[in-house]
Structure 1
């Protein structure tokens, strides 16, 4: 079985000890998708702004 590799790119963090992503063989799984504003860390009150932040 392939070993899991944790991925922690600069500027992306998680409040818990969970990596931003993990790779196991050819599979990549995200562990840190968030709707928070990437500059302020605040969570907008409306869903549209949160979704926009996820893709930012």
Structure 2
């Protein structure tokens, strides 16, 4: 699911998702993931950075 966004997610944001069609939902710490990914941008391969940019990642 894609939502309109400016690409900025608060560090404490938690997204509730359904994983692989399983019953129930899981909480994902989306804010922490995005923050950590930005901080470690120089450690990402060019391919991974390109994939994230296709998804709308803002550095």
Q: Select the structure that is richer in helix.
A: 2
Higher-RCO chain (CA-CA 8 Å, sequence separation at least 6): 2
Length-normalised TM-score, structure 1: 0.28
More strand by share: 1
TM-score relative to the length of structure 2 = 0.27
